[in-house]
Structure 1
Amino acid sequence: MDPVPRAVTIHNFSEKICDRTVYFHVMAMDDCFFLWVGLSANLEHLAVAMCSRYDSVPLSTSVLGDPSDTTSTSFAQRLAKKTKKQVFASINISHNESQLMLLIEKRIKQEMDSLPEKF
């Protein structure tokens, strides 16, 4: 009997980071997930990354937005390497806010550790 595919699950959370409310949206599917992070409801960047048996660094590409802003692409790569899943990442935070991004990554790691089934 074929395994029943996992339904799309949605997980939303937010956190006050550096005096700003950061919103997180996760849509988990079989062997992949979509993660959106932003300060307001917009989708300016989208990247996808996946592991390859030919290279230790996951393959990635920018799907939407300025390709010179590698925030979403590099973040998707790190998540793909950590989870061994295909990752669609939309990080809508200015690439100039490195301190905020470090805290956002820490918050996502906490969420992944406490609720791994949501990713």
Structure 2
Amino acid sequence: MASSEDNGVELLPCSFKFHNFLTEVGEVKMSCQIIKMRDSFYVWVGNYNNNVMNHLSLALVSNYEKVPISTTLLGSVADSTSTNMAKRLAKKLGMPVYVSFNIEADNLSMPAIEKKLQQEINIGFVALADEPRILESA
């Protein structure tokens, strides 16, 4: 097998940054993975014991709209949890956000879950100087 030096290809280091954590918000136990890519974030939220991706949404900010543009990439459009969360995070971060939200949570738990995700984004990526912080007032 030829090495990268043999064919003149330069291998670059991965620029993705990963942050995984397990947490409980009220009665909701969840496992989370946040991936920071060059110009976007990917957020996966699921059950401790059941790592599935039933929903995936994308939201991004636009110069022409106040509310981020969003779409469902995977799963039912009737369940807008991933899409709504992606829109709020995209607005706060100012960049595209993919969200896969795969747990059952009531409307009372959702603000606390989003707050926890925002805290983890700040904790997991704030050490990098060029990373955005979520502003509490946004």
Q: Give the TM interval when normalised to the shorter protein.
A: 0.7 to 0.9
TM-score by length of 1: 0.85
Query: What is the DSSP-based 3-state SS (H/G/I as helix, E as strand, rest coil) of the residue aligned with 2:117?
Result: helix
Q: Distance in 2 between matches of 1:113 and 1:32?
A: 14
Alignment match of 1:42 (pick from 40, 46, 52): 52
Please say if 1:112 is aligned against 2:121.
yes
Query: What is the DSSP-based 3-state SS (H/G/I as helix, E as strand, rest coil) of the residue aligned with 1:24?
Result: strand
> Percent of pairs identical after alignment?
36
Shift of 1:115: 3.4
Shift of 1:113: 3.2
4+ aligned runs moved over 6 Å, structure 1: none
Q: Distance in 1 between matches of 2:115 and 2:99?
A: 16
Match of 2:40 in 1: 32
Q: RCO greater where, 1 or 2, for CA within 8 Å and sep 6 or more?
A: 1
Q: For 1:20-51, what per-residue CA distance to the aligned partner results, in whole angstroms no more than 9, with x for missing partners? A: 42111011111101000111311010000100
Q: Distance in 2 between matches of 1:28 and 1:61?
A: 20
Match of 1:101 in 2: 110
Task: Judging by fraction of residues, say which structure has more strand.
Answer: 1
Q: Distance in 2 between matches of 1:93 and 1:22?
A: 8
- Of structures 1 and 2, the larger Rg is shown by 2
Amino acid at match of 1:110: Q
Task: Judging by fraction of residues, say which structure has more helix.
Answer: 1
Query: What is the DSSP-based 3-state SS (H/G/I as helix, E as strand, rest coil) of the residue aligned with 2:31?
Result: strand
What RMSD in Å do the two structures reach over aligned CA positions? Answer: 2.1
Q: For 1:88-112, what per-residue CA distance to the aligned partner results, in whole angstroms no more than 9, with x for missing partners? A: 0001123x61222222112112223
Query: What is the DSSP-based 3-state SS (H/G/I as helix, E as strand, rest coil) of the residue aligned with 2:70?
Result: strand
Q: Distance in 2 between matches of 1:68 and 1:48?
A: 15
The aligned runs of 1:1-119 (5 Å cut-off) are 7-39=15-47, 40-94=50-104, 97-117=106-126
